[in-house]
A and B are shown apart, each in its own frame.
Chain A
């Protein structure tokens, strides 16, 4: 039997000794599309960042593809899409250059890019509908297009697992659709997805399982919860900030 893609067991994760997540367990098996939901500040981003080793895990264990995360070296099997482009971009870079850096996990630091690398980059640009912007500086793109650049970067490495941190936050409708399309193609090709989201929007039909993080623990693990109250209204504009006291039943549907 193949090991789970991600296996987090009884993990406690925190910053500066203050735990954000306590005794959290999560298993993602191959070909699943798992959404991690929760209010702002619930620790849902921390959960996926801990899985990738970007946040140290205090107690408990994390394994990727059956290997303890500390000893995991096959990073080309994972494509990571952060919330937004890092601030460290003082020098212009084209969309193609950013996407091409997604190949490094596969080809290594020293080997120059070959034909397979270039083809993978073009295919990833096509998948998110940015082929016509490939030569433009990323800084001239809209927020949604920048987000698509980041998913193309992850796809360029031809990963088996995509980890996305709030990929659709503040993204225009056209980009959300392009995003959902790219994700569907990835899933249909047998890929596994773990994504953090505040709102699912057009991604909803793709999700096979939902995990709700609430107050540092997992409050729900199973079917995608139906939005309750005024959130259920399809025209509901989700613009108000979520406060800490937001009731858990919003997502658990009780």
Chain B
């Protein structure tokens, strides 16, 4: 693999691996909450941050973190206090986010290429500073999600029970919201705002085809995320494809494989059980007739 002797490829690989590991660790809580697409929406909001950053000549990633965090907090407040209009409020936020982003990027001096880089990812242009940002935020995110797993599990599993347990439910919910925003922004470099949700959700969806518990699902999803990121970058490097899309397609491919394998195993098990249950019986009537 000669390609990885280039610094930029190595940086791309390391960045992708960190994101591949961290994104499902956060995404599992979103899937448990049935909010799998929230990351997608926050990606849209982050785009406005990118546009503002480009326009103001500030670091787009930094401004995007701020914008996505604000968006996440607003969504969490709508979720916690809103009633029927929650759905609509989210739609307004998402489409407002992407429209704002496209407009602000257009107003800035940046080329349309840079808009594409944020929409679909641009892993190979990861700079040393970017890698440090991804590394620090990724590790903080991972440690938080692992250390607080029992509490976050309880809140996502049964929020009322968590409240009666005296858990700081609002703080934990905000933590998940802010964690989602951070994941979205660091993953933006790798897969782009339009594909972020895939890295948070697809490994979890694949893992839960074969797992029985929450902890095992989380471990398996992180392993799958790591694999998809590594294999995706390798495919991109050897076949010269877009890294973001390659990572996501590898993840979806693994989901299909795991789902098919799990369905096959289930069918085999059912047949084995049916064989065991059926007593060795006399030939059935029609067989006698056939003779």
Residues of chain A touching chain B, judged by Cβ–Cβ distance below 8 Å, are: 52-54, 73-76, 78, 80, 82, 85-94, 96-98, 100-102, 104-105, 109-110, 113, 135-137, 153, 157, 163
B212 contacts A78, C-beta separation under 8 Å: no
Q: Which of A52, A88, A91, A102 contacts B214 (CB 8 A)?
A: A91
Name 5 interchain pairs, CB-CB below 8 A, sorted by A: A90-B33, A91-B28, A96-B213, A101-B165, A135-B213
Supplied contacts A80-B164, A94-B212, A109-B150, 17 more A-B pairs, CB within 8 Å? A54-B163, A82-B161, A86-B161, A88-B33, A88-B156, A90-B31, A90-B36, A91-B32, A92-B214, A92-B217, A98-B157, A101-B165, A104-B151, A104-B167, A135-B212, A137-B213, A153-B161
Is residue B166 within 8 Å, beta carbon to beta carbon, of the partner chain?
yes
Is residue B147 within 8 Å, beta carbon to beta carbon, of the partner chain?
yes
- Residue tally, chain B, CB below 8 Å to A: 34
Chain A: minimal CB distance from B261 (Å): 17
Q: Which of A54, A76, A100 contacts B150 (CB 8 A)?
A: A100
Chain B contact surface mostly: helix
The residue on B at minimum CB distance from A157 is: B165
Residue of B160, B161, B172 ringed by the most chain A CB atoms within 10 A: B161
- A74 contacts across to B, CB distance below 8 A: 166
A135-B212, A137-B212 given as contacts; is B164 within 8 A of A54 (CB)? yes
- A76 contacts across to B, CB distance below 8 A: 165-166
Q: Which of B151, B172, B208 contacts A92 (CB 8 A)?
A: B208
B165 contacts A105, C-beta separation under 8 Å: yes
B167 contacts A91, C-beta separation under 8 Å: no
Is residue B271 within 8 Å, beta carbon to beta carbon, of the partner chain?
no
B158 contacts A82, C-beta separation under 8 Å: yes
Chain A: minimal CB distance from B187 (Å): 20
